[in-house]
Amino acid sequence: MKFIVQRDKLIASVQDVMKAISPRTAIPILTGLKLEAASDGITLTGSDSDISIESFIPAEEDGIVNAEHIEAGRVVLQARYFSEIVRKLPEKQVEIETDENFNVTIQSGKAKFNLNGQDASEYPQLPTIQTENSFELQSDLLKNLIKQTGFAVSTMETRPILTGVNIKIENETLIFTGTDSHRLASRNVPLEGVQLNLSNIVVPGKSLNELNKILDDNDEKVEINVANNQILFRTKHLNFLSRLLDGNYPETSRLIPDKSQTIIHVKTKELSNTIDRASLLAREERNNVVKLTTKENKLLEITSNSPEVGQVAEEVSIQSLEGEDLKISFSSKYMLDALKVMENDEVTIEFTGAMRPFIIKPSGDDSMLQLILPVRTY
């Protein structure tokens, strides 16, 4: 195998596939990165058996030559060393060559490295997904869906299914849901003309987090395929494959109250900043609890009290209040997480009493919903 490649293209591809490579793996060859050269370009592969990422550098694209003098072949390289070397090479072009014993020479300008490679035929075959269950989303929209739901998944392995995001398609609507049983985040988008029904698809939150880092924030299309316990996200030059979580995702729609006793409309940033300040004194072991109390003259009082530290109280103006007065305590962290992903200047919060879950939505927008369970304080 032999080729010359543009260093910046190689660095970008290496950074992408490194997100799937773990130094701790039961299969030693998976600590390596697979490099494959063919006449149409160079493919890099990384996998930890939960996530697999393939990145393709086309030999030529839009009249620009990315790789040339290609002699086909493949090898597995020590990922950690290869990624460090590539990043620090001096020139814009890199020449890579392997001999029949899988010894790899990497040369750029006056710098020359020799690395011991491994036989790529020992590298596990990635599952191929051929499926009718596919649909497309814009890259920036997919990033948003992940950002607005992924933070709410559980980090505890006690209920593994809750460490993932549930992806559902019904009635031409795509729904992403994340919950850790104390809070829930949900976002839906219309998928016009997609006659697919998907229900129990649960993608590990960790996988989506890595995918989010790789995807570009643009309107490039991402094709999403689901089959036999795997989900594949495919862009022009990238295949991102993740296993799905086993088990049944809980029916979360039952958690969402269908009526409310108190509805407030408030500026997102003002409420967020006030809760952030109140949380400074919230006791760690009490879940960073703050208390919200409705007052007269369109005011909310946000308070927090920590006997060893002190207390804080601050009033925030609201746009409107409908229904009954209310006192409720909740985790400031959960509330701040929920407000952070709201893109509207104003949010609507619907309460059904002090001990019932409450809902936060962007005002005038039902496509997104955050639900938080209150905290009992004595």
Q: Left if phi > 0, otherwise alpha if psi is -120 to 50, otherwise beta: which for 43?
A: beta
Write down the pLDDT at residue 195: 84
Q: Report the number of secondary-structure helices (H) and strands (E) in the chain.
A: 6, 28
Write down the pLDDT at residue 128: 79
Write down the pLDDT at residue 133: 82
Contact call for residues 98 and 73 (beta carbons, < 8 A):
yes
Q: Strands, DSSP E only, in 139-228?
A: 164-170, 173-179, 183-190, 198-204, 221-227
Write down the pLDDT at residue 33: 98
CA dihedral sign, ordered 334, 335, 340, 343 = positive
Write down the pLDDT at residue 203: 98
Write down the pLDDT at residue 212: 97
State the CATH architecture for 136-234+243-253: Roll (3.10)
* H or E stretch covering 67: strand 67-71
Report the C-alpha gap between 85 and 212 in whole angstroms.
Answer: 26
Query: What's the CATH number for 2-122?
Result: 3.10.150.10
pLDDT mean for each 10 residues of the chain (378 residues)? 97 97 90 97 95 97 96 97 97 97 97 97 87 89 97 94 96 96 96 86 97 94 92 96 95 91 97 95 77 95 89 96 96 96 96 95 95 87
Write down the pLDDT at residue 286: 63
State the CATH architecture for 256-372: Box (3.70)
Alpha helices in the chain (DSSP H): 7-18, 79-88, 139-149, 205-214, 268-278, 332-340
Write down the pLDDT at residue 199: 85
Domain ranges for the chain, please list them. Answer: 2-122, 136-234+243-253, 256-372
Report the C-alpha gap between 360 and 364 in whole angstroms.
Answer: 12
* Equal CATH topology for 2-122 and 256-372: no
**Longest CA–CA separation in the chain, Å:** 81
